[in-house]
């Protein structure tokens, strides 16, 4: 029996997304540029660290894993590899590598700090410091100049490289902590002395005139603050008077007028509280006028206080 003829396969026109292809090509080119830049930076860093091994990320990561399995002498080498790996792959991918390596970021930071600080130290210093990874981590509290001096045989904070070699980690930690505390106490003492000297110099420079009511630098500063506060309040009271006047002239609304009265009454209450709290004696029957220049810091200290007759203490009522 003859087979039935095959049905023709339907033809579909394939439409290429040229824009998507262009974006993909552009992204590929950008990644190539980034990779080239990271590689160049890694080569430069490798030269600075004196490293001549492979720079492929997977090999650097493998090197970190192998270095971690060695003894404490590999601490600096681990730090170098970590630095190179971070430089080669960027911060985000570096954190992913640390996660794969089960390497705590804080610990990795200490390894990298050690490599950077000790990369230029003499080989003999490396051998002594590498005897203990824990000692190496403790010494990271020293700044770069102190690390360099220690490696060159100098005594740093009462500690030498030979002494570090004979100390336990606990003894080294205690010595460094004591030196930190001594330095902090010394800095605090210097700061306190400088503050006292500045205060004495300021007081020594202040020479009141015969007409001045301020006899010390502190009193002079208080008078200047008083002048500033008085000038500001005077300007704001004038502004308040203008606003209250505008409300009274422009509206017959009792609510608006009531709000203006409320604002004035509140400020009067504040002034009464100041009067009663500080026992100020005032006489509203005899207005006080301030001398010309009283509100200017350079002039007001030479002006005598306004003369007002004595009056009973205000009680805040019936002024």
**Could you report the per-residue pLDDT of 108-167, keeping only the tens digit for each?**
887 887 777 776 665 545 545 544 566 766 776 677 677 777 777 778 778 877 777 777
Segment holding 75, helix H or strand E: helix 75-89
> Domain for residue 116, yes or no?
yes
Q: Are residues 115 and 257 in the same domain?
A: no
Structural domain boundaries, residue 163 = 25-176
Q: Are residues 172 and 221 in the same domain?
A: no
> Domain for residue 141, yes or no?
yes
pTM exceeds 0.85 for this model:
no
Q: What are the pLDDT tens digits along the chain (319 aa)?
A: 556 666 666 665 656 677 777 788 788 877 788 878 888 888 888 888 888 888 888 888 888 776 655 555 667 788 889 999 998 888 888 999 999 988 888 878 878 877 777 766 655 455 455 445 667 667 766 776 777 777 777 787 788 777 777 777 788 788 878 877 777 787 788 888 877 777 766 656 667 777 777 777 778 788 888 888 888 888 898 899 898 888 888 878 888 888 989 999 999 898 889 888 888 888 878 877 776 555 444 444 444 455 444 444 444 444 4
> Domain for residue 310, yes or no?
no
Q: Cβ neighbours of residue 95 under 8 Å, at least 6 residues apart?
A: 105
Q: Are residues 35 and 99 in the same domain?
A: yes
pLDDT, one tens digit per residue, over 166-192 is 777 788 788 878 877 777 787 788 888
Please give the structure tokens belonging to residue 193.
């002395």
Last residue of a domain, one of 176, 201, 236: 176
Burial class (CB in 10 A: 0-12, 13-18, 19+), 122: middle
Q: Which residue has the tokens 């004196």?
A: 50
> Domain for residue 8, yes or no?
no
**For residues 84 and 90, what is the distance between their CA atoms, to the nearest angstrom?**
10
Q: Are residues 113 and 37 in the same domain?
A: yes
Nearest to 165 by CA among 139, 187, 186, 135: 135
Q: Are residues 172 and 281 in the same domain?
A: no
Number of compact structural domains in the chain? 2
Q: Are residues 159 and 230 in the same domain?
A: no
Q: Are residues 295 and 164 in the same domain?
A: no
Angle at the Cα of 142 from the Cα atoms of 63 and 187, rounded to 5 degrees: 155
Q: Which residue has the tokens 């690390």?
A: 147
Q: Are residues 170 and 222 in the same domain?
A: no
Q: What are phi and psi of 156, to 5 degrees?
A: -120, 120
């Amino acid at each position: 029996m003859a087979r039935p003829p095959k049905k023709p396969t339907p033809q579909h026109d394939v439409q290429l997304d040229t824009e998507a292809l262009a974006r993909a090509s552009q992204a590929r080119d950008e990644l190539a540029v980034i990779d080239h830049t990271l590689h160049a930076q890694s080569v430069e860093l490798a030269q600075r660290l004196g490293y001549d091994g492979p720079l492929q990320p997977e090999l650097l990561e493998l090197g970190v894993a192998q270095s971690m399995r060695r003894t404490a002498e590999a601490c600096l080498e681990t730090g170098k590899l970590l630095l190179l790996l971070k430089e080669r792959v960027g911060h985000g991918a570096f954190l992913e590598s640390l996660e794969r390596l089960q390497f705590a970021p804080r610990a990795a930071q200490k390894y990298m700090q050690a490599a950077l600080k000790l990369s230029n130290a003499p080989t003999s210093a490396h051998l002594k410091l590498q005897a203990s990874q824990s000692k190496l981590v403790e010494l990271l509290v020293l700044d770069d100049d102190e690390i360099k001096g220690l490696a060159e045989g100098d005594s740093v904070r009462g500690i030498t490289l030979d002494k570090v070699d004979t100390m336990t980690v606990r003894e080294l930690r205690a010595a460094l902590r004591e030196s930190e505390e001594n330095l902090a106490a010394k800095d605090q003492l210097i700061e306190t002395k400088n503050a006292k000297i500045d205060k004495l110099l300021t007081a020594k420079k202040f020479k009141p005139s015969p007409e001045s009511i301020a006899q010390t630098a502190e009193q002079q500063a208080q008078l200047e603050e008083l002048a500033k506060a008085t000038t500001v309040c005077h300007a704001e009271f004038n502004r308040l008077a203008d606003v209250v006047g505008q409300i009274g002239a422009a509206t017959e609304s009792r609510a608006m007028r009531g709000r203006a009265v409320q604002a004035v009454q509140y400020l009067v209450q504040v002034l009464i509280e100041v009067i009663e709290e500080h026992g100020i004696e005032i006489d509203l029957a005899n207005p006080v006028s301030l001398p010309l220049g009283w509100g200017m810091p350079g002039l007001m200290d030479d002006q005598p206080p306004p003369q007002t007759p004595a009056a009973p203490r205000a009680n805040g009522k019936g002024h």
